[in-house]
Amino acid sequence: MTLATRRRRNTIIAAALAIGLFGAHQAYDAALYDAAFLSGWILFISMLLLASLNLRKKLTMLPIGSSATWLQFHIYLGWIAIVLFGLHINWRLPNGFIEVTLAILFVAVAGTGILGIFVSRTLPKRLTRRGEEVILERVPDFLSKIRDEAEQVVIRSAAEANSYTIRDLYSEHLHSYFMKPQNYFQHLIASNHGLFTLLNEIDSIDRYLNARERELISELRLLVVKKDDLDFHYALQTTLKAWLLVHIPATFALLTLAALHLVVVHAFSGGIG
Amino acid sequence: MDILQRFDYKSSGYHRPNQAWVCGWAAEGKPCQIGPDDRGNCRATFECQPSKTDDRWQCNRSDLVGGKCPDGPLPDGTCCRSIQRCWPVRSWRARVRVTRNWVLAVSVGILLLAGASPLAPVLLNPGDVTFQHSEVADCGGCHTAFEKGAAAWPMAAFAHSAKVTDSQTCIACHDLGENSLNPHGLQTATLNLSTKKAMPQRTVSEPLVLTAATWARDLPLHDNNKLACATCHQEHNGKAFQLTAMSNKRCVACHKEKFTRLAQGHPEFAGFPFDRRTRINFDHGSHLEKHFRDANVKAQAPKECSSCHIAGQVGSLMVVKEFKSICAACHEGQIEGVGRATSKGVEIFAVPGFDVQVLMENNISIGSWPEDAEGEITPFMDLLLAGNDDYTAARANLSELDLLDLTDVSSTQLADVEQLAWGIKELYFELSTMGVAFLSSRLAVAFGHDLNTTELAQLTNLLPADAVKAAMDLWFPTLHDDVIQFRAGKSVPMPSSEVTNAIVSTVATVAKSTDDKIGDDKIGDDEIGDDEIGDDEIGDDEIGDDEIGDDEIGDDEIGDDDGAEDGEEGEKTQIANLASEDWPSAGGWYREDFSLRYRPAGHADVFFRSWLDIAAQAEAMPAKEPATEIFEALVSTKSPGACSKCHSVDEVGEGIQHVNWQGKRPISNQHAFTAFSHVGHFTLLDERGCLTCHSLNSEVDFSDGFKDRDPTTFVSNFNPVERATCAACHTPAEAGDNCVTCHNYHIGTFPPAQTSTPKMMEQAKN
């Protein structure tokens, strides 16, 4: 089965389930029940199933399907959960402290989840298309090396070229650039604006350079580009990890408060549900 | 520099992403090889741990950080290069884990605050309640589980024992009757009956969602078919939320016939709004088509519907205006007896006629008895004597006998006649000596309950003592002595005719002012065919031109007056010749020969109404038979007052009647199935006015519906309202066709929500 076929099949199944849930919701309401109880229970169970992906990743020894399959299930069930949530809150902003908190948490979880699908499918391809693939944890190390090299070029320019032009350029524009990863959001949106700005600065002093300086400035230029590639990888890889920093903690908070919400609404239901 | 990342063992160190802490120098790109411990403490010491080979310390720094250093270890074996300590940082995984734990802790904190702190009501409140409920003290005012504490909520959440407990807090203020929680507030049997009755003979394709609803689950009915209040009324949706709003599909959840549109699927308005005959027997057809067009009454006739009808409370009914403003112009005279051929008053007390001759021959001792009396015992007298068992028995024994002809009766029957006579004489004796108090006691026995002052006044309507005395003096001049002797056990023989006549003639002049030849005047059987208004042969005297206003009858010494000695003989003649029933032309008591009668004082006479109301309950009284006879006599079409000409009588129970004195009136706090306001529709009518919805039906015989006392057998002057008439405007886009626009759910009579003041006395004292 091709990827497209599988996606089409899964999408159709998810859409059918969502429509079925919507219909069940309407029928439940027409039968004089508070349909929020139906959607709420299904939503809660869905969230438990969604959260179990984390558990599945830890219990690799159990023969309960591959992580890839679980991930697919997680994604499509997540979409259905969004529909369920909308049905549950009747498509309007909730009131009440607990309810608003739950809504915010759900939006955070669902939002980061959608972001995660997007970034996990787009960013890796972009990473392979540019620069050298590096391990995220080693980026500071590589950054340090590039910075050392750049500083050596500057020192050599002062010693060999008898000019401080490159030194002044470095101290004014490049020193902070080489200190830490830069242009985080520009790399996310595939913008080279920051790099070009810097390169323009470098190219703009070309008329003031002598022959030796031009040689050195070209090395520096390469280091600037190299560093930018490193920044690119740092930005994208950090993003690939950072969304989980919101998605997972928010999920735990959501489940905890959802359990409280579940007990309270049943205890105070007044005989409905 | 071509490649940054190399993976040979000399260039690529091993990262342990599962570890929680990472060396702080990693951010500089120069992490140490030792790394922090699992608590995040820096363990940095030296770059290598020298090893001793042949008494010589060797540097064994890792190739990843440069390999052997040129300086080598110190003589004591210590590495010469110390590592500067760092501040370890968490790894990515650890950051996720820590964040998760913090967020979880905050959530649990919220959970604890929500469950066991004074902030619980604030945290748990899912939204503002409607402003009508905003003064409820706290959550426990409506949610019974709240008071039990957070520990009890899990049990309350999933226990099935008290599903309608919270509803009881609603009912504490919103008391909707005995079956508040039943659908429509009606008992199941009643609903089943209505369903069976209304089950339409048609098929309607119901919306899919409703079919699914029926299939999906049973209705949320709890013990004995009860619905929780929260099923339909959901709070915590904001201050301005409409608690009574309801979608059509939820309304029909319980109904066999499911539809969501007035124009599609709603049953036709079969017979609406008529479910019984009108309480006032008023034929719109004959009045509009004949009577109102009569030249004699055309000027007084109403010109339009609003001349007689006015919107009642909340505009649901178009009630009929008062009699005096709409009916009196034509009908007042009939009630007062204008032009009436028979007696204008009803006979209350009378002297029955006995065959005095036979009684005297048989030495029946009943004292004096007027020989000329030819009347019968009235049902009023039977009622008053109902407690006298001897009388009652004698009455029953003589029921088939003509008391005016006792020729062939047995001695037993004669004894019964004697019993009867003494019962009557004692009745009149006590009436004349004890007055209304006597009537009160006798009526209490007859009705089976005491009467209050108002009831007594209405039922006696201020019977004047003088009228009674005058009657007794005329009928039984020796009544007092006769009864005393009788009660002393002595025989009271009937006096001779001469003696009787002498006594009678003494008081005969009293009767001259009532020169009535009614010898056998009975209720409904009056034969005064000659006495008619307009044909009055008493001089020029006519009702309305009566000069009795100048008469000094109050000072008249009737006992001495022979009518011929007074200098004002012409005026006295007029008074003396005035028919007794014409004297009280405005109603009241009057004596006519051997009877005391009562003439109605116009419309809504208190006496007539009170007797009809109380006699309607005859079935439940000890004196059932005479009460029934009274009722039937007064409600007869021939009765003075002609009450039943317009006021219908309904049989409401086993023999229990009800006289409809008024047309339908809105009952305060009554909630019917259909809620319609006329007022709201007035501005929408065109020149057809009321006839837009209420078209006349000229084909029917309206009187057919009043031939019995069953109010449900009827025909209406008007055609039923058609559904299409309403559906023309009540579309979703215009006036709306929501079920609750026209229908109430809670049926019955109940007041608006009200609270109680159990500590009123304490608060008043403070």
Does a cis peptide bond (omega within 30 degrees of 0) precede residue B711?
A: no
CB–CB contacts below 8 A, A to B: 193
SS3 B228: coil
Contact A31 B214 (CB under 8 A): yes
Please list, residue by residue across B301-317, b when 16 or more beta carbons sit within 10 angstroms of its beta carbon and e when fewer do.
bbeeeeebbbbbeebbb
Contact A260 B31 (CB under 8 A): no
Q: Which two tokens stand for residue B760?
A: 């009123």
Contact call for residues B25 and B14 (beta carbons, < 8 A): no
Nearest CA to CA, how far is A247 from chain B (Å)?
9
Q: Which of B5, B157, B238 sits opposite A132 (nearest CB)?
A: B5
Chain B CA closest to residue A256: B107
For testing contact with chain B, the best of A146, A232, A264, A265 (most B CBs within 10 A): A264
Which DSSP string corresponds to B283-301? -HHHHHHTGGG-TTTTTTS
Nearest CA to CA, how far is B238 from chain A (Å)?
8
If phi > 0 it is left, if psi is from -120 to 50 it is alpha, else beta; for residue B615 that is alpha
Q: How far apart are CA A234 and CA A184, in angstroms?
A: 8
Contact call for residues B608 and B641 (beta carbons, < 8 A): yes
Spatial CB neighbours of B107, under 8 Å, sequence gap ≥ 6: A252, A253, A256, A257
Q: Which two tokens stand for residue A256?
A: 């905890």
Q: What is the mean pLDDT of each run of 10 residues along chain B (766 residues)?
A: 75 78 85 87 90 89 84 90 90 87 89 83 88 86 85 80 76 87 88 77 70 80 84 90 88 84 86 89 92 89 91 87 92 89 92 92 90 92 93 92 90 93 95 94 95 94 92 92 94 78 61 45 38 36 36 38 46 55 87 92 95 94 94 94 94 92 90 89 86 88 91 91 91 92 90 79 75
Q: How far apart are CA B659 and CA B649, in angstroms?
A: 5
Q: Looking at residue B508, what is its pLDDT?
A: 57
Q: Looking at residue B535, what is its pLDDT?
A: 36
Which of A189-198, A203-212, A213-222, B143-152 is the least confident region?
B143-152
Q: Which two tokens stand for residue B161?
A: 């024992």
Contact A266 B103 (CB under 8 A): no
Q: Which of B146, B158, B253 sits opposite A32 (nearest CB)?
A: B253
Q: How far apart are CA B363 and CA B493, in angstroms?
A: 7
For testing contact with chain A, the best of B25, B166, B209, B739 (most A CBs within 10 A): B209
Which DSSP string corresponds to B29-59? T---SS---TTS-----BS---EEETTEEE-
Q: Looking at residue B549, what is its pLDDT?
A: 37
SS3 B121: helix
- Give the DSSP letter of residue B14: P
Residues of chain A with Cβ-Cβ distance to B120 below 8 Å are none
Contact B103 A253 (CB under 8 A): yes
Q: Which of B99, B153, B212 sits opposite A264 (nearest CB)?
A: B153
> What pTM does this model have?
0.73
Chain B CA closest to residue A27: B213
Contact A267 B143 (CB under 8 A): yes
Q: H/E/C letters for each residue in chain A? A: CCHHHHHHHHHHHHHHHHHHHHHHHHHHHHCCCCHHHHHHHHHHHHHHHHHHHHHHHHCCCCCCCCHHHHHHHHHHHHHHHHHHHHHHCCCCCCCCHHHHHHHHHHHHHHHHHHHHHHHHHHHHHHHHHCCCCCCHHHHHHHHHHHHHHHHHHHHHHHHHCCCCHHHHHHHHHHHHHHHCCCCHHHHHCCCCHHHHHHHHHHHHCHHHCCHHHHHHHHHHHHHHHHHHHHHHHHHHHHHHHHHHHHHHHHHHHHHHHHHHHHHHHHHCCCCCC
Residues of chain B with Cβ-Cβ distance to A253 below 8 Å are 103-104, 106-107
Please list, residue by residue across A185-211, b when 16 or more beta carbons sit within 10 angstroms of its beta carbon and e when fewer do.
ebbbeeeeebbeebeeebeeeeeebee
Rg (CA), chain A: 27
Q: How far apart are CA B328 and CA A19, in angstroms?
A: 70
For testing contact with chain A, the best of B21, B95, B107 (most A CBs within 10 A): B107
Q: What are the residue ranges spanned by the domains of chain A?
A: 3-130+243-269, 136-237
What is the identity of the amino acid at B650? D
Q: What was the ipTM of the complex prediction? A: 0.84
Nearest CA-CA partner of B559 in B619, B505, B478, B616: B505
Chain B CA closest to residue A35: B231
Contact call for residues A196 and A206 (beta carbons, < 8 A): no
Q: Give the range with max mean pLDDT: A18-22, A61-65, B23-27.
A: A18-22
- Residue keyed to tokens 């063992």: B9
Q: Looking at residue B96, what is its pLDDT?
A: 85
Residues of chain B with Cβ-Cβ distance to A140 below 8 Å are 26-29
Q: How far apart are CA B626 and CA B615, in angstroms?
A: 9
C-alpha pair distances (Å), A262 with each of B117, B153, B224, B231: 19, 10, 28, 18
Nearest CA to CA, how far is B148 from chain A (Å)?
11
Contact A141 B31 (CB under 8 A): yes
Q: How far apart are CA B5 and CA B283, in angstroms?
A: 108
Contact B158 A266 (CB under 8 A): yes
pLDDT digits (tens, 9 = 90+) for A236-265: 999 998 999 899 999 999 999 999 999 999
Q: How far apart are CA B599 and CA B218, in angstroms?
A: 66
For chain B, the straight-line distance linking the first and the last C-alpha, in angstroms and rounded, comes to 94
Cα angle value A36/A39/A45 (rounded, 5°): 135
* Alpha carbon of residue A260 to chain centroid: 29
Nearest CA to CA, how far is A109 from chain B (Å)?
13
* Residue B76 CB burial class (10 angstroms; 0-12, 13-18, ≥19): exposed
